[in-house]
Structure formats: C-alpha cells, structure tokens
C-alpha cells in the first residue's frame, strides 16, 4: 500500500492505494469521480483520458502511485465557475455524441489538442483523436465539434 | 494485475543496486507496453522500479555530429523538440506518428528500444543510423543490439541510459501503420550516412533488419526508381491475420520508395 497525494481538479486529494492500483481506479473508486470512464481496459479506447500535469494520458495505463504529487484534471474539473469549457460547449452544440460513453475521453483529448494546436486542420484533428474510439461511429460530428471548440476557445 | 511492490528510484546507481538484488524486478518507464501486459496478467514481476524523473535519463542535446537523447524522453518531447527537429527531422516525425497522443505523452524512447517490439518505429531509426545504445554498463552499437522479436543485447541488471544518433546527411522514415493500432505493418528508415546508404525495415519481419539490396541500389543512384526492380525476400517476414509475407514485402518496398522520395524531393 502507498499513501498518495495529488491535486485533482484543483483540490488536494489524499488516499491509500495498492501499488498496483491504476489512476483510473483511484479517481473512480476512491474519489468517486466517475466521469472518467473505463471502456476497454486494454489501453486502446481513450475513454479514461485525463490530464496529468497538463498532458492527456490514459488513466487506465498509469499507476495511481505514479501520479503522486501531480496535478490531475478530469472531466469534472473542466468547467470553470459554472461555465462549460469550449470543448464541452462545442460537443453539446454539435451533438458530438450518440451513447456518450466515449465523450469524457473525447472532450479531455480535445481540450489538450486545442491547447497545443489552437487551429487544427481536419487531418490534424483526426490524427489527434487516434487514441479515442467511438463505437457509435459518431466521428463526423466529433470532428466538427473539435473545430467548433477551437473557434470557441479563440473567442 | 498480480500484486507487485512499486519503488521509485532517484538515481541510476539505485536502479542498478535494486535490479542486482532481484532478477524478477521490472523497470517502469512510460509503461505503455508494460502496464497493458500486467493488466492482461502476462507478467508477474515482484517489483516495478519506476525510473521516471532520474536526471541521468533525461535531456536532448547535439554534440558535434551526434544527437543524444536520454532514455526516459517521451515520444512527444522528441516529436516537438526544436533540437531534434533541426538536427534530425526524420526522427521527430517518426516520433510524432507513434501510437496516439496519449501514448506519446507517456511512452519513452528507451522503453521502446529496450522492448524491441518487431513493429515498433524507433528501432528502424536506431538501426538505420547505427545509433549507439549507452547503458549503465557499456555502449552497444545498433547492429549488435537488436536480436529479433522482443530480444536485445541487454543483460540482467542493464538499462538504457541514452541513445546517441550519428547525424546523417539526409534521412526519412515512411510507415504504413496498422489502421487500428498504429503499429508499423512496414516502416522503412532510409539514411544517407557517412558510411553510405542504410535502409532499415521494421514491422515486416521478426525484428528490425537492414535491406542490403536496397542499400546497394540506392548507393548507385539515390532515386525511388532504383528500387523498382527489387523484391524483398519473404524468408524472414511475418505472416499473420493482418497480411501475408508477400504483402509485407511489397509494403516495405513502397515505404522505402516513399522515404527515398522524401529525401530526394522527387515523386
């Protein structure tokens, strides 16, 4: 067991975890932040994407102990003062979801993508979303939403 | 995942000592292969020694004609580093197309090279440039380092510290990624080096290898047309649900031609 402390969505969070616990488990089971979804559990679908120290990562493929001392942002921490993040706003406007299971990961990846590249082309968007799968095949609206998110961010 | 003990090492010396005491321990760098392997219960190490944050394993620098990259450098850092983009743009673009963004934000060059997945991208650049693998014990040239599927010259207790790439006159990498995994179905690194043309192929065989016929043909004329009459031998190529040997041989040839076209600027 290890005692870990990290800042999650701006709040200091401490917990005791097994060495083998994944960051996704810690966020969901200990902190009850269930917006981070575990889709495939084989590191492929990206539904569990969160930001660790500003970078998008798959929280099912990082140990919770490795995030000790880190700054973590989950889908629950993206909106600020009741105002949706541009990525959240854009996914809503463009109806970029069908079942919605992949959406938290898609939005976290989008938020990171438009931070690195404020004006992505369609090709860069598709390349940037390679680590996120949507089994409803809703990609067209998702790509539109990323474009819209970039526009909203620029405003 | 089976249980293990997690330890975070602060120095290279510490890693060496811990490894020497426990031959069932595994090193954890980016974890992009190791963690999925553990989750599938395909491995049961006693300890995971986390080597993230060890200063000796970090940093990117050019000294003379050599680009040296610390083993714990993440793909994203290699892809976006101004030093790499200026000195060896082919390596930056190779790194920018590994896996997906989340993988590139965690995965490391040392981990990829040490794992030697037969479809990984980095081994093509390492062999294509005959880079030097600097470990905590010695230096190994790429020619001697890669020893087939997931096998390398690394011994127990040995880890990669840095990788030193001799800078080529020109180089390019082209790959045909598997559409689902992003792994190379065939990836070819072509380099004009001080010792002549080198062509390294990944993804198609049991491990990265040099294609000597292509090297000879391109040595005579650096032109994609020089490859047209060649056929890559299928003797040691992979055949699986994704493609036949013949298909991979053809893909390797097409990727080699694309890499050459990127070097010469001709289509």
- Label residue A60 exposed, middle or buried (CB < 10 Å: 0-12, 13-18, 19+): buried
- How confident is the model at residue B148, as a pLDDT? 92
Two tokens, residue A38: 């575990």
Asked if A131 lies within 8 A of B38 by C-beta distance, the reply is no
Q: Compute how many other C-beta atoms are within 10 angstroms of the C-beta atom of residue A140.
A: 10
In this structure, what are the phi and psi dihedrals at residue A100, rounded to the nearest 5 degrees?
Answer: 90, -5
The domain boundary, picked from A26, A50, A77, lies at A77
> Do the Cβ atoms of B242 and B185 come closer than 8 Å?
yes
- Structural domains counted in chain A: 2
A39 and A14 in one domain? yes
Residue A57 sits at the chain B interface (C-beta within 8 Å): yes
Cβ-proximal residues to A33 (8 Å cutoff; 6+ apart), any chain: A8, A9, A27, A74, A76
A41 and A107 in one domain? no
- How confident is the model at residue B181, as a pLDDT? 82
The domain boundary, picked from A43, A77, A111, lies at A77
Shortest Cα distance, chain A CAs vs residue B76, angstroms: 10
A134 and A111 in one domain? yes
A102 and A130 in one domain? yes
Indicate the residue of B35, B99, B101 with minimum beta-carbon distance to A56: B101
Residue B52 sits at the chain A interface (C-beta within 8 Å): yes
CA A126 from centroid of its chain's CA atoms: 16
State ipTM: 0.96
Tens of pLDDT, residues A76-94:
999 999 999 999 999 999 9
Coil, strand, or helix at residue B188? strand
**E strand residue ranges, B93-248:** 132-135, 139-141, 160-166, 170-177, 184-193, 196-202, 209-210
Confidence of residue B267 (pLDDT cuts 50, 70, 90): low
Q: Which domain holds residue A111?
A: 86-154
Two tokens, residue B204: 């198609």
> Do the Cβ atoms of A111 and A87 come closer than 8 Å?
yes
Angle at A112 between CA A111 and CA A115, to 5 degrees: 85
Query: How many CA atoms lie within 13 Å of B211's alpha carbon, on the beta-carbon side?
Result: 30
Shortest Cα distance, chain B CAs vs residue A47, angstroms: 11
Asked if B31 lies within 8 A of A63 by C-beta distance, the reply is yes
Residue B196 sits at the chain A interface (C-beta within 8 Å): no
Residue A112 sits at the chain B interface (C-beta within 8 Å): yes
Q: For the residues B67-93, what does the mean pLDDT come to?
A: 98
CA separation for the pair A23, B6 (Å, rounded): 14
Shortest Cα distance, chain B CAs vs residue A13, angstroms: 20
Please, what is the average pLDDT of chain A?
Answer: 96
| Residue B28 parent element (H or E) | strand B26-28
Domain spans of chain B, in order of start: 5-50, 58-264
A97 and A61 in one domain? no
Cβ-proximal residues to B75 (8 Å cutoff; 6+ apart), any chain: B95, B96, B98, B99, B103, B104, B105, B107, B108, B109, B112
The domain boundary, picked from A77, A101, A123, lies at A77
A96 and A45 in one domain? no
Level-2 CATH architecture, domain B5-50: 2-Layer Sandwich (3.30)
A42 versus A4: which is more confidently predicted? A4
Per-residue pLDDT for B217 more than 90? yes
Per-residue pLDDT for B69 more than 90? yes
CATH number at residue A123: 1.10.150.120
Tens of pLDDT, residues B162-186:
999 999 999 999 999 998 888 899 9
Q: How far, CA to CA in Å, does B99 sit from each of A34, A37, B145, B189?
A: 26, 21, 23, 17
A91 and A72 in one domain? no
> Do the Cβ atoms of B35 and A41 come closer than 8 Å?
no
A100 and A72 in one domain? no
Two tokens, residue B228: 């047209």
A123 and A66 in one domain? no
pTM of the predicted structure, to 2 decimals: 0.95
Strands A71-73 vs A2-8: parallel, antiparallel or unpaired: parallel
Tens of pLDDT, residues B42-55:
999 999 999 999 99
CA separation for the pair A21, A33 (Å, rounded): 15
Two tokens, residue B236: 């040691």
Which residues of B are less than 8 Å from A132 in CB distance? 100
Asked if A56 lies within 8 A of B102 by C-beta distance, the reply is yes
- How confident is the model at residue A138, as a pLDDT? 84
- CATH 3.30.465.10 for domain B58-264: yes
- Residue ranges of A 114-143 with Cβ closer than 8 A to chain B: 128, 130-132
Instruction: Strand B170-177: give its sheet, edge to edge.
Output: B170-177, B184-193, B196-202, B209-210
Tens of pLDDT, residues B128-162:
999 999 999 999 999 999 999 999 999 999 999 99
Which residues of B are less than 8 Å from A41 in CB distance? 39
CA separation for the pair B89, B83 (Å, rounded): 9
- How confident is the model at residue A41, as a pLDDT? 83
């Amino acid at each position: 067991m290890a005692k870990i402390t990290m800042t999650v969505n701006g709040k200091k969070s401490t917990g005791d975890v097994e060495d083998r616990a994944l960051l996704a488990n810690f966020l969901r089971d200990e902190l009850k932040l269930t917006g981070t979804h575990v889709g495939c559990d084989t590191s492929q679908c990206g539904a569990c994407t969160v930001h660790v120290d500003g970078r998008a990562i798959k929280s099912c493929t990082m140990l919770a102990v490795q995030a000790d001392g880190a700054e973590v942002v989950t889908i629950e921490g993206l909106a600020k003062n009741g105002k949706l993040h541009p990525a959240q706003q854009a996914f809503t406007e463009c109806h970029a979801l069908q079942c919605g299971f992949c959406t938290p990961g898609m939005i976290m990846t989008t938020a990171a993508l438009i931070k690195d590249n404020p004006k992505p082309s369609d090709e860069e968007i598709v390349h940037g979303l390679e680590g996120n799968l949507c089994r409803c095949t809703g990609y067209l609206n998702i790509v539109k939403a990323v474009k819209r998110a970039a526009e909203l961010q620029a405003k | 995942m089976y249980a293990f003990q997690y330890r975070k090492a602060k120095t290279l010396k510490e890693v060496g000592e811990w490894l020497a005491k426990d031959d069932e321990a595994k090193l954890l760098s980016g974890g992009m292969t190791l963690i999925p392997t553990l989750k599938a219960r395909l491995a049961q190490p006693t300890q995971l020694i986390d080597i993230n944050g060890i200063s000796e394993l970090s940093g990117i620098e050019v000294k003379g004609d050599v680009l040296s990259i610390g083993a714990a450098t993440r793909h994203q850092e290699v892809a976006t580093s101004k030093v790499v983009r200026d000195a060896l743009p082919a390596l930056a673009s190779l790194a920018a197309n590994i896996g997906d963004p989340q993988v590139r934000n965690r995965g490391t060059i040392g981990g990829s090279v040490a794992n030697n997945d037969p479809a990984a991208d980095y081994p093509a650049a390492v062999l294509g440039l005959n880079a030097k693998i600097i470990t905590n014990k010695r230096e190994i040239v790429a020619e001697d380092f890669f020893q087939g599927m997931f096998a390398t010259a690394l011994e127990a207790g040995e880890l990669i510290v840095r990788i030193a790439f001799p800078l080529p006159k020109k180089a390019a990498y082209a790959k045909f990624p598997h559409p689902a995994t992003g792994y190379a179905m065939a990836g070819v690194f072509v380099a004009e080096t001080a010792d002549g043309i080198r062509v390294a192929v990944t993804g198609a065989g049991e491990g990265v290898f040099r294609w000597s016929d292509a090297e000879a043909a391109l040595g005579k004329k650096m032109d994609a047309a020089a490859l047209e009459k060649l056929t890559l031998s299928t003797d040691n190529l992979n055949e699986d649900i994704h493609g036949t040997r013949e298909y991979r041989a053809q893909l390797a040839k097409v990727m080699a031609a694309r890499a050459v076209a990127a070097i010469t600027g001709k289509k």
